Amino acid sequence: MGCCFSDVAAGQAAVGGAAAAASYQSNPADGGPNDAVDYFFTARGYRGLFSRIEISLSASNLRDRDLLSKSDPMAVVYTKGRDGALQELGRTEVVLNSLNPKWIRKHIVTYYFEVVQTLVFRVYDVDTQFDNVDVKMLKLDEQQFLGEATCALSEIVTKSNRSVTLDLVCKNVSVGSNRPRNLGALTVHAEELVNSKTTTELILRCSDLESRNMFSKSDPFLVISKIVESGISIPICKTEVLKNDLYPVWKSVFLNIQQVGSKDSPLIIECFNFNSNGRHDLLGKVQKSLADLEKLCSVGHGEHLFLPTAVGHTHQNKVLKSQLFVDKFSESVQHSFLDYLSGGCELNFMVAIDFTASNGNPRLPDSLHYIDPSGRPNAYQRAILEVGEVLQFYDSDKSFPAWGFGARPIDGPVSHCFNLNGSSTYCEEVQGIMTAYTGALFNVSLAGPTLFGPVISIAAQIAGQSLANDELKYFVLLIITDGVITDLQETKDALVKASDLPLSILIVGVGGADFKEMEILDADKGERLESSNGRVASRDIVQFVPNARCAEWGVLCCSIAFSRITFSISNLHANQSLYSIIGFHACMSSLLLSLWFDAGFYWIGGSLVVLNEHSDGQSLARPLHEMIFASLSSKLRHKKEMNNSFDVASYVKMTVKAK
C-alpha cells in the first residue's frame, strides 16, 4: 500500500473519519458546502449554474528527497485569481514514506460553469522533524518542494471519468523551457457532492486477524474507500492504528453521505498491518455498502475478510478466517443554517482588550494602542471591526459586553476586568465598542500583569445564566492581547470550567511578542486542557489567531477561526441533554460564519461576476453579505408567518425531556 495517511503520531492517527467529520458539509475552513450560500443563488434564479465539487488527489513516481527513507509528501491546493494571485484552499495530510501517495483529505470547490477557475497544486516533502505538527501550522518554505501542476477545474469535470493526470514541474517555468524531467505525476479526481445532511456513525472491529510481525501481533488499522463511476477506489478515511492486537475494536468512524455518494454505494474496507517504512501488509478486505453494514449490525453477524490471490492466469479471492463486525450503526441529521435561524438561535459577541503597559504609551505612534489622527485603525481596532462587524448581524439587540484588563482606573487599583463603557457593561453596536475603547484609553493608566482568568470567568457567568434560562444563545468572547499571560494555570482552570457552557473564545495576538502560551490554550494538537484539580475540558473552546494572519485575511481569517472553534462541538457529548443545547448553538455559529467565509473568500476571488450585483470584486464581500442576510431574514419571517418553520427551541426541549 505504501501509505501512512496521517500527519501526526508517526502515521498512526486516524484521518477523515473522526467525530468532526460528521459536520463535513459545514466546514468552511475546508471550503465545505453552505446551504445559506446555495439559497442565495437559487433565490435569485441561478439554478444549475454552480455545483459543489469534491477534489481528491493522488500522486505517482515522486522524487525521493530523503536519504534513509522515502519522501513524506503533502499536497497544497490553491485557487488562482484573475490577477494571478494564489489563495490557499487547503492542505492534505502528510503520507509518510511514500512516492505514490493517495491522500484522504479532500477539498471542496464551488464550480461555476461559465467561469474559468484555475487550480494550482504544489507537492512538498515534509521534514521528519515536523511529523507531529498539524499541517495547518507547517511553514512551506521549510519543506522541500517536489513539484507543481496547474489546470482549470472545467478541464477535470469535463473528462468522462472526471480525472486528469498532470505532470509535476518546477515553479514558474514556461512551456518548452529546460526544466527537470521525471518529477512525477499528480492525479486529480473531481466528484459532484450529493446534498445530504445525514451522517453515519460506525464502530468496527475485527476478529482472528493474521499475525504478520515476527516478535509480536499485528498492528491493524482500517482504510475505507469509495468506488467511483470509473471503477477506481478513492480513500475517504482511515482509523487509528491499534498496537499488538488481533481482535481490534476501533474508535467511532463518522461518514457523511456526501463522502460516500449514497447509502447503497459500494465501499471497500481494507485491514492493514502497520509498518513504519510505509509498506503496510494487507490482512484482508471486504466490499460492502452502508446499507450492508447496517444489516450486519442489526443481525450481529460478521463478514469474512478475503485476500485477492493469483491462481495461474486468473485472480481469485481467498476467504479468510478473519471477520469484520459492525458493533454500532447509527444515523443522525446535521441541521442546517436555516433550521437554526428559523428556530430563533442567536450569536452573542463579547470583547476583552489588553490594557497592560507592554502595549506602549498610547500617546506615542509606536504604541499598539496609538489612535492615529488620520483615522487609520490600530491593531486592536482592526480586530474589533473584523470580528464584530461579522457577528453583529446575528445578535438581535446588538448590545455587546466590552471589558478591559490590566489597567489602573483613575484613583483606583489595577483591575483585570473593567467596563470599557464606564458604569455599563454593554456597548451599543460595534461602533459603540470602538468609541468606548478610545475613551477608556484616556481614563486609565496602562499597568499589568496580563491575566485572562477574570474576563473568561465573567463571560462564562453570562453564558451560564443564559443556559440556565433556557435561552437559545451561543456566546463568542474575543480577547485581544499583545503578550505573555502570567496566570496560565488559572486561565486553564477557567477554560475547563467554561467548556460545559455555550461559549467559544477567539484570542487575537497583536504585536511581536512570544505567543507560545496561546498555542497551549488553543489545544489544536488534540490534547484537551486540564485544570489544576485534574478535570479535563469537555471540548476545545479556544482558537488563537496571530495578528499577522488577521491583517492579511481580514474578516476571512476570523471566520475560519470561529468555524474551527465550533466545528466539532455539535457532535461532542450528543447523548447528554446539556450538550444537546450547546450543539445547536455551535452548529449555528459554525454555519453562519461559513456563510461569511464563502461570501468573502470565494466571491472576492472573482468567481462570482455572474451575480452582477457589484462590478468591483474588491468591494463585493460586505454588501453581498448584507444582501444574503436580508434575503434570509425576509424568507424566514415569511416562513414563520406561514407557520412552516423548523422550531429548534421545541426540538431542543423535546430532546432534553426525552433524555
CA dist 438 and 422 (Å) reads 12
Q: What is the pLDDT of residue 655?
A: 33
HSE-up of residue 567 (Cα within 13 Å, Cβ side) = 26
CA distances 278 to 1, 19, 236, 437, Å, are 8, 26, 18, 55
The whole model's pTM is what? 0.58
Q: What is the pLDDT of residue 282?
A: 94
Q: What is the pLDDT of residue 412?
A: 85
Q: What is the pLDDT of residue 20?
A: 42
Q: What is the pLDDT of residue 261?
A: 82
Listed in sequence order, the residues at least 6 apart from 108 whose beta carbon sits closer than 8 Å to its beta carbon are: 30, 31, 32, 33, 52, 53, 54, 55, 193
Q: What is the pLDDT of residue 176?
A: 54
Q: Are strands 220-227 and 86-91 parallel, antiparallel or unpaired?
A: unpaired
Domains in the chain: ranges and CATH: 34-192 (2.60.40.150), 198-333 (2.60.40.150), 345-578 (3.40.50.410)
Q: What is the pLDDT of residue 603?
A: 26
> Residue 604 is placed in which grid cell?
472576492
- Given a cut of 70, the residues of the chain with pLDDT beneath it are 1-11, 18-49, 66-67, 172-181, 312, 335-342, 524-526, 547-659
Q: What is the pLDDT of residue 120?
A: 96
**3-class secondary structure for 440-508?**
HHCCEEEECCCCCHHHHHHHHHHHHHHHHCCCCEEEEEEEEECCCCCCHHHHHHHHHHHCCCCEEEEEE
> Residue 386 is placed in which grid cell?
473584523
